[in-house]
Amino acid sequence: MKTIDLNADLGESFGIYSFGHDHELLDVVSSANVACGFHAGDYQTIPKTIQLAKDKGVAIGAHPGFPDLKGFGRKQLDLNLDEIYDLVVYQLGAFQGFAQLYGLEVQHVKPHGALYNMANRNYEMAQTIAQAVCDFNPKLKLFGLCNSFLVEAGREKGLDIVQEAFADRTYTEEGLLMPRHEPGSVKHQLEDIVEQVINIVKNERVLTNNGTYVKLNADTICLHGDTPEAAQNARLIKQALEDEQIQIKSLE
């Protein structure tokens, strides 16, 4: 039976201010990317999210981002490579501390938002992030966009690479994500999202914004949880995968 890992970005609340659909998504996904306090999340949300993932049997990973609460980590910041290295290590350290308290191993690292997108396109930044992960713990898996510089840099550092695709994002003919500010960059129709997920898993390809297909060999697919319909969409995607005899399974 064909298998696929599903992941979601979680723990993006702030204290009493709840955001996202963590409980519902953790009933569907097999890997959780937990915000580490820079773009979202805080010192109380991180442990709550780790505990919830533990209760649901979902693998956890650190989700470091730029120090950009106002922009939710989606603003490109002009930081030097030393700063990039340090902010990644800083967030990994905080997350690892809480994971250790709850008796869980950190499975992976997935950069967030602009940090992720810039590293996928910028080789020096990708190398810096991969080096930070490797220096912190070379056993950690590194998530990167399929066929990106982040994947290439992680491999060069000897890390276990997890190639990622997105359920609801539109791709360019280069196999990259369309920038969010461009019209049509995010899919909203459930039928289109399900079709893209099935196409990625079964046929290892995705339809691009110009109507052609590009090959993707994805190990994991991200389900975004920051829309009102996120929980319902996740359940229906899970059902569609099961109907196609595709098992949702955590990474090995």
pLDDT tens profile 200-209: 999 999 999 9
Closest CA to 93 of 125, 128, 148, 140: 140
pLDDT of the residue at 188: 87
Residue range 15-50, pLDDT digits in tens: 767 777 889 999 999 999 999 988 888 999 999 999
First-last CA distance in the chain: 16
Contact 240, 198 (CB under 8 A): yes
CA distances from 144 to 20, 156, 160, 212 (A): 23, 13, 11, 23
Q: Which pLDDT band, with edges at 50, 70 and 90, does 1 fall under? A: confident
Compute CA 211 distance to the chain's CA centroid, rounded to the nearest angstrom: 25
Q: Is the pLDDT of residue 4 over 90?
A: yes
SS3 127: helix
Query: What value does the mean pLDDT take over residues 176-197?
Result: 90
For residues 188 and 49, the model is more confident at: 49
Residue 185: closest CA among 197, 167, 169: 169
Q: How many CB atoms lie within 10 A of CB 101?
A: 11
What pTM value is reported for the model?
0.94
Considering 71-85, 127-141, 200-214, the range whose residues carry the highest mean pLDDT is 127-141
- The answer on pLDDT for 101 being more than 90 is yes
Q: How confident is the model at residue 71 (pLDDT cuts 50, 70, 90)?
A: confident
- Beta strands 213-215 and 106-109 are unpaired
Distance CA 13, CA 18 (A): 5
Angle (nearest 5°) at CA 157 between 136 and 166:
85
CA distance 75 to 68: 7
To the nearest whole number, what is the mean pLDDT of the chain? 93
Domains and CATH numbers, the chain: 2-248 (3.20.20.370)
pLDDT at 3: 96
pLDDT exceeds 70 at position 80: yes
| Residue 73 pLDDT greater than 70, yes or no | no
**Tokens 């922009």 -> residue:** 71
Tokens for 95, please give them.
Answer: 């997350």
